[in-house]
Structure 1
Amino acid sequence: MTALPAEHGRTLYEWFERSAQRTPDAVAVHLGGVDVPYGDLHGYAEALAGRILRECDGPPRRVALLANRSLVAFAGYLAVLRLGAAVVPLNPSFPQVRNQRVCELAEVDLVLADESGPGGRPWPTGLPVPLLNLSDGELDTKTDELPPYAGRPEDVAYILFTSGSTGTPKGVPVRHRNVSPYVAYNVDRYRVGPGCRTSHTFDLTFDPSVFDLFVTWGGGATLVVPGPTDLLTPVDYLVANRITHWFSVPSVVSVSADLGNLPAGAVEGLRHSVFIGEPLSYRQARRWQETAPGTVIENVYGPTELAVACTSHRLPADPADWPDTSNDSVPIGPLYGFLEYLLLDEQGRPGDEGELCVRGAQRFDGYLDPADNADRFLAHEQGRTTGYDGTGPLTAAHYYRTGDRVRFEPAGLVHLGRLDNQLKIRGYRVELGEIEAVLCRHPEVVQAVVVPVRPGPDSGAGGQIELVGYYTGAEQEPRELVRWLRKRLPMHMVPRRFHRLDALPLNPNGKTDRGALRDLALQG
């Protein structure tokens, strides 16, 4: 494990402020056709910090940000950090009841909102704390003198909420000292600096948005904010805005290809294309490379609990040199050199395949509710693995259990799927990702997802788990598809039903919505 350089100890606000002081006239954000210089954005953030102080009658501890792709969103994020408080992003498209619950769980002092509400209307007042609703036009740079910045690497930078198995969202507090090493690593790896223009494809509730904002601002580059429909035609967005660095989920590629919006050779000047959030298939990588022949493609991986991403794999420039993998997905690469990891099998023994467990600078310190920590961490000392049961101290020596199964292959570290996507059918262990990978090899299938369902007592299935396959591409006769799969998979791994869709449903983070497909399968 390599030592961390000094810049890894900066706070997110210090990463931004450093660029604002160095190049105040450089463009920090391009939004709605308007360039916002670093000096102006810094002024907006300072003024808004002063207003938040007055609204809260003193320094807040946590502020919810109910805003998206607006000057209020960006200045608001920075303003909260300027005060040494934690940002709690809320998704404007989520139900109000969920946002209310997040505010309660995070114990926020204030909700800062922009005009992203339905139809641009002000937000309703049912939130459990005071609401400060602003438009971009109400921002200014005039403020009373603020107290000196006192943020520390130990402070919580942001709290994101993931879906909890109990139905209650789980809060993930990430400290500046967790995320700053990520920012430093990526600024350097992708050579982000003045003159670079980066995409903004992620909602603020999805942690890759930290790359969008703070890798951009940490390097002194320009964040180019897309309009409401720009991401449906990413090539137009890339070309018109001279994007140099692209970061998105792989589904953007498939959706755009299905819509005929990825013309070959159309994109020039795109230096880096980075994908995260779900497996990147070689089919998707080839399609993107055909559209932007000069770009360097990378696949990265990481859960929210490990501060955005902790691995990266860079594909060679020539597709003929791309390595083969067992599931036709691009390797996720090695882990960052300053992190430690283990691959543990079901008995807790290290090996070349198993659950990925990670510790080090980017590992968070535990969930907002300590009860959620049980079974999510483990210790491994002198060849002995001990699960963390929620009692006793949680220390830096504990590894975080990602819940992802990975394997060392000649191509590198390959993601095999979620452990919770493994199930037993007729006594056999089945990995859904393996079935999906084989189904995607069918020449007429573009994307594929397999979901397990347990039919009701009147279905005739005897209560056994049934596999249902969904795919995009050309319509296939189900019996022929079954025959094709049975030549390549054991019988117990072949789905009993298939449904063709024009496009796979996506959740708000742009990932394939498996829950929606499972509900659809249960409807028959």
Structure 2
Amino acid sequence: MHISNTDPSTENFITVNSSDKMTVLFGPNRPDLLRHEVLGQIFIRTALQYPNKVALLWQNEKITYYQLYQQAMEMAIILYRTRHVGPGSIVGIRLSRSAQLHVTILAVLFTGACYAPFDADAPDERVIAVLADIEATLLLVDSQTSMNHSLVVDIETLKKHTISDHIHLSLNIDPKSIAYIICTSGSTGKPKAIAITHSNICHFIRADNEIMKITKDDIVYQGFSAAFDGFFVETFAAYLVGATLAIPSKSDLLNTDRIHVFLIDHAVTVLSTVPTLLLLINNDPALRLRLINVGGESCPQAVVDRWWKEDRRIINQYGPSETTVAATTSLLYPGEQISIGAPLPNYVCCLLDEETGQPTTASTGELCIRGPGMALGYFRNNSLTKQKFTEYGYRTGDRVTFDQGRIYFHKRIDSQVKIRGFRIELTEIEEELLKLHGDVQSAAVAFLNGQLVAFILGQLNETTMRTELGKRLPRYMIPNRLIHVKGAIPRMASGKIDRKALSALFVDESKKMSTHETRIDIGELIERDFVQRRPRRSLRQERIIILSLS
């Protein structure tokens, strides 16, 4: 069925509901986006086309595309000559936010090696474990991120080498080779290393910009950590067309008022971010944002209502890292049901039965994604790769519904918690808290020590919380504790809520409470333990708003 819609993310999408096979959504057929190229080539073409265009705005520096190319190529030659970095090498990068980070990433790509990015604040133990797991060649660091390890090479040491002859590396790099390895949290506690090829990421950048429509005249905010694949939505989307990247410092990122000022001072036109950040920033008329791209977590309707304008688009992107950054996209409008949209060009989404993993003709099931963005798999983990990368595509573990060419997210299939016989989705409680946006700027809920604990940034008090949530949720879904967070809800490099940090906050708050301060609602306990178990209400369609990129 042809889907006619003013939203370009669903234009020309076909829905196939086969009575004997499976339920499928196809992205637009765009063979012109499938090219024999590598990531470094995308940048080089732009640098040749717009050599004097500003590529990076970093503090008081303006670095042109030619200057960035020159610096990156010089470092690539140094890496190639002095460290024998080339095709087949795996280079860890753990650098502070700076222009040098961007130079280094390009340099490694120019050598034909693949890189593994680490957040500057990642624990040393985690970095060491990943380096061993992926058998890295070396780890590039700076003075702020250095650590004691045999693979460590300080970037300043490399820069001391000089290149006497102005030569360029001319290496045969296979588009099917690995461009980068990105790590996400694993259910076993051990990070999963995902291998993304040049073909994967180059196609994504081109396909995604069919929706984003970034141009050389845009100024793109670069806020994501290099260890999060949202980094590519910002960085290489800009490199593709010759746009300018505006890079805030770490101190800017830690203060929402400073982010607000940065966006205005740098005349930023394109912002990619997690939705909750938008609840903390003032929607100032002085902002020049024409495009807001949200991803990485749930997008409350309040974000759309607050930020949408006639001359500003808000795009919702969804996709696990295993399918290269994002696989579906949707334009968001005030008052409209939020969906994760439809597949990007050349992607295919289908539904599997949650129990059997086999194709289903139902409209609801486990989302499975295939196409040119599907990763090679988990690096040196064949058993997990075979489990998740099937003949039908990558099994996301997400329950969704296909409805008239759009995909609506329900929940993680395995993300429930169970309290006294009741299965509870923590995200449902979080979303209800965020609806109290007059008193709640940001919220997270965790199940700790046998009780539900709400963490909020805002003025909400416990009495109001219980009263207001009691209007919308069963009593067994109302948090036992309310903890006010100073500054911001703790988040990981990906922008997702840091559950471990919430646990630490809970422990700290518990130590402050004396025994006589602990209140027990006897009536609530009786209701939770002995009330007749009512069937849990169905999930409302307006709740379909998560965007997990990992």
- Given candidates 343, 347, 351, the residue that maps to 1:339 is 347
> How big is the shift at 1:130?
4.8
For the residue of structure 2 that corresponds to 1:420, the secondary structure is coil
- Given candidates 461, 469, 472, the residue that maps to 1:476 is 461
Distance across 1 between alignment mates of 2:362 and 2:113: 42
- Given candidates 241, 244, 249, the residue that maps to 2:269 is 244
Contact 2:492 2:498 in 1 (8 A): yes
User: Given the alignment of the two structures, is residue 83 of structure 1 paired with residue 94 of structure 2, yes or no?
Assistant: no
- Structure 1, unmatched stretches of 5+, are 118-122, 257-261, 325-329, 380-396, 456-464
TM-score by length of 2: 0.79
Contact 1:192 1:220 in 2 (8 A): no
Instruction: Give deviations 1:316-346, integer Å, cap 9, x for gaps.
Output: 4xx3xx313xxxxx32211214111223343
Query: Bigger CA drift: 59-68 or 18-27?
Result: 59-68
Map 1:288-327 to 2 at 5 A.
288-289=307-308, 294-316=311-333, 319=334, 322-324=335-337
Contact 2:52 2:64 in 1 (8 A): yes
Map 1:43-192 to 2 at 5 A.
43-57=70-84, 59=86, 61-117=89-145, 123-124=146-147, 126-134=148-156, 143=165, 145-192=167-214
Distance across 2 between alignment mates of 1:38 and 1:142: 22
Letter in 2 for 1:341: C
Contact 2:263 2:287 in 1 (8 A): yes
User: Given the alignment of the two structures, is residue 4 of structure 1 paired with residue 31 of structure 2, yes or no?
Assistant: yes
CA pair 407-128 structure 1, distance change in 2 beyond 3 A = farther
Query: Bigger CA drift: 87-96 or 511-520?
Result: 511-520
> How big is the shift at 1:58?
5.7
Contact 1:323 1:411 in 2 (8 A): no
Distance across 2 between alignment mates of 1:6 and 1:254: 35
Contact 2:78 2:163 in 1 (8 A): no
Distance across 1 between alignment mates of 2:411 and 2:69: 42
Instruction: Give deviations 1:149-178, integer Å, cap 9, x for gaps.
Output: 312210100011112233322211100111
For the residue of structure 2 that corresponds to 1:363, the secondary structure is coil
Letter in 2 for 1:24: P
CA pair 338-500 structure 1, distance change in 2 beyond 3 A = same
Contact 1:279 1:415 in 2 (8 A): no
Q: How many residues align?
A: 473
Instruction: Give deviations 1:109-141, integer Å, cap 9, x for gaps.
Output: 122223443xxxxx24x2232514228986977
Map 1:504-523 to 2 at 5 A.
504-521=489-506
Query: Bigger CA drift: 46-55 or 147-156?
Result: 147-156
Letter in 2 for 1:16: F
Contact 2:85 2:111 in 1 (8 A): no
Partner residue, 1:207: 229
Partner residue, 1:382: none
- Given candidates 219, 233, 243, the residue that maps to 2:241 is 219
Query: Bigger CA drift: 87-96 or 224-233?
Result: 224-233
Q: Percent identity?
A: 29
Instruction: Give deviations 1:446-486, integer Å, cap 9, x for gaps.
Output: 33322123x3xxxxxxxxx43222233323234x5334333
User: Given the alignment of the two structures, is residue 451 of structure 1 paired with residue 446 of structure 2, yes or no?
Assistant: yes
TM-score by length of 1: 0.83
Partner residue, 2:524: none
Distance across 1 between alignment mates of 2:421 and 2:403: 27
> How big is the shift at 1:254?
2.9
Distance across 1 between alignment mates of 2:116 and 2:296: 20
Partner residue, 1:279: 298
CA pair 246-141 structure 1, distance change in 2 beyond 3 A = farther
Partner residue, 1:16: 43
Distance across 1 between alignment mates of 2:162 and 2:234: 24
Distance across 2 between alignment mates of 1:447 and 1:240: 26
Letter in 1 for 2:167: E
User: Given the alignment of the two structures, is residue 196 of structure 1 paired with residue 223 of structure 2, yes or no?
Assistant: no
For the residue of structure 2 that corresponds to 1:134, the secondary structure is helix
Higher relative contact order (CA 8 A, sep 6+): 2
Distance across 2 between alignment mates of 1:59 and 1:445: 51
Letter in 1 for 2:186: G
